[in-house]
């Protein structure tokens, strides 16, 4: 039993250790690098839910010029009371513009006059990249298979909760979509990821699609090959579902990386030279651990040091640096710390 527990402890230490070693650098950046570009300024709407300044408005209640039918011709839905309404046998409608990674906002209302049951009541759907359906259904007091109710990734993930409003009431979807990734040979390396808020309530939490959605059985990613974008699609399922206030924000797909590789200045430091820097500096502490110098900021944030010279060091996970002052005998007398934009801090050796 004791050995078993010990095994578990080792296992978790390994897991914790491996995460620790990846840490911040998964983003490609060390913490607080001032070379990192500033976030682009976006002016939010006066009313949350309306389009922010960088959104592409696909439907504002007036015209359907940004939409087409499947064959590319004019969309065959109709505009009723500033909403676009699905027309039976009118077919799906697709945005003329195509998107990969994106944020989508739209509002929908199932018919006020309740007709049908299960999948037959207020059925429509929002298709990301034209392939991945977030189900639209009147799921208010209307049971069906869970993975086909409102807010589901159709046939794959039921919504986390049923946040539906009643028939005829306007409801919102806010969707964050990350498209699937393929390598150069068209082999899938990342599944599509869908996050959805239904009426402000989280119903899909980064759900990874098994493939393009479909009735009975989902499709395979193989059919998408290297597809990187597709239209936003809205389903005609024979029920007069209405949509309004539809906007999309394409998302940055590849984040900028540091121009120069970190630690190009790294040198090999003689252990004896390194170890003479061990000691207390104000409230901080430098120690030798696992073949590295480690700087303990305020004694409790261990930062592995990267030697750039005998007296200057960077850190493995922070863009900051530390410089040691030595006296004539080569004994350290203090440090100068540079940890963020707040300026340099000094500490005297104790």
Q: Which residues bind Mg ion (CB under 5 A)?
A: 123, 125, 135, 235
Minimum Å gap between C-beta 95 and Mg ion is: 17
Nearest to 223 by CA among 310, 309, 131, 161: 131
Nearer to Mg ion among residue 135 and residue 172 (C-beta): 135
Minimum Å gap between C-beta 301 and Mg ion is: 51
Minimum Å gap between C-beta 231 and Mg ion is: 16
Minimum Å gap between C-beta 137 and Mg ion is: 7
Minimum Å gap between C-beta 132 and Mg ion is: 12
Nearer to Mg ion among residue 100 and residue 125 (C-beta): 125
Distance, in Å, from the CA atom of 222 to the CA atom of 298, rounded to the nearest integer, reads: 53
Nearer to Mg ion among residue 235 and residue 321 (C-beta): 235
Contacts of 27 by beta carbon, 8 Å cutoff, 6+ apart:
255
| Residue, CB closest to Mg ion | 125
Nearer to Mg ion among residue 135 and residue 144 (C-beta): 135
Nearer to Mg ion among residue 125 and residue 211 (C-beta): 125
Distance, in Å, from the CA atom of 309 to the CA atom of 303, rounded to the nearest integer, reads: 17
Sole residue written with tokens 């068209």: 186
Minimum Å gap between C-beta 206 and Mg ion is: 22
- How many CB atoms are located within 10 Å of the residue 205 CB? 12
- Yes or no: say if 319 and 33 are a contact pair by the CB < 8 Å rule: yes
For 287-309, b/e burial (b = at least 16 CB within 10 A) is eeeeebbbbbbeeeeebbbbbbe
Minimum Å gap between C-beta 131 and Mg ion is: 13
Nearer to Mg ion among residue 135 and residue 164 (C-beta): 135
Nearer to Mg ion among residue 162 and residue 235 (C-beta): 235
The string of DSSP codes covering 19-86 is: HHHHGGGGGT--BT-TTSPPPPP----SSBTBPPTT-EEEE-SS--TTEEETTSSB---EEETTEEE-
Nearest to 110 by CA among 199, 205, 201: 199
Nearer to Mg ion among residue 119 and residue 199 (C-beta): 119
Minimum Å gap between C-beta 151 and Mg ion is: 11
Contacts for 253-260: CB closer than 8 Å, 24+ residues apart: 253/100, 253/101, 253/179, 255/27, 255/28, 256/36, 256/37, 257/28, 257/29, 258/28, 258/29, 258/33, 258/35, 259/35
């Amino acid at each position: 039993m004791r050995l078993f527990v010990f095994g578990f402890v080792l296992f978790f230490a390994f897991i914790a250790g491996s995460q620790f070693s990846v840490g911040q650098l998964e983003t490609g950046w060390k913490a607080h690098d001032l070379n990192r570009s500033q976030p682009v300024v976006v002016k939010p709407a006066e009313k949350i839910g309306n389009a922010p300044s960088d959104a592409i408005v696909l439907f504002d209640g007036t015209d359907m010029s940004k939409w087409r039918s499947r064959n590319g011709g004019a969309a065959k839905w109709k505009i009723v009371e500033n909403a676009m309404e699905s027309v039976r046998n009118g077919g799906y409608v697709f945005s003329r513009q195509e998107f990969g990674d994106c944020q989508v906002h739209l509002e929908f209302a199932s018919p006020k006059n309740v007709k049908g049951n299960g999948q037959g009541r207020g059925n429509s759907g929002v298709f990301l990249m034209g392939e991945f359906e977030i189900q639209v259904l009147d799921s208010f007091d209307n049971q069906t298979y869970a993975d086909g109710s409102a807010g589901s990734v159709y046939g794959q993930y039921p919504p986390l909760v049923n946040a539906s409003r009643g028939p005829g009431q306007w409801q919102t979807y806010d969707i964050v979509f990350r498209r699937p990734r393929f390598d150069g040979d068209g082999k899938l390396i990342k599944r599509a990821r869908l996050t959805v808020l239904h009426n402000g309530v989280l119903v899909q939490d980064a759900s990874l699609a098994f493939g393009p959605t479909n009735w009975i059985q989902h499709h395979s990613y193989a059919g998408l090959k290297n597809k990187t974008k597709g239209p936003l699609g809205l389903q005609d399922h024979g029920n007069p579902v209405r949509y309004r206030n539809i906007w999309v924000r394409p998302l940055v797909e590849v984040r900028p990386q540091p121009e120069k590789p970190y630690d190009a200045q790294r040198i090999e430091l003689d252990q004896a030279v390194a170890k003479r820097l061990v000691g207390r500096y104000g409230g901080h502490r430098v120690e030798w651990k696992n073949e590295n110098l480690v700087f303990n900021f305020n004694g409790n944030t261990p930062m592995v040091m990267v030697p750039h010279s005998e007296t200057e060091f960077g850190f493995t996970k922070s863009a900051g640096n530390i410089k040691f002052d030595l006296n004539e005998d080569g004994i350290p007398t203090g440090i100068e710390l540079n940890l963020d934009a707040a300026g340099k801090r000094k500490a005297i050796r104790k």
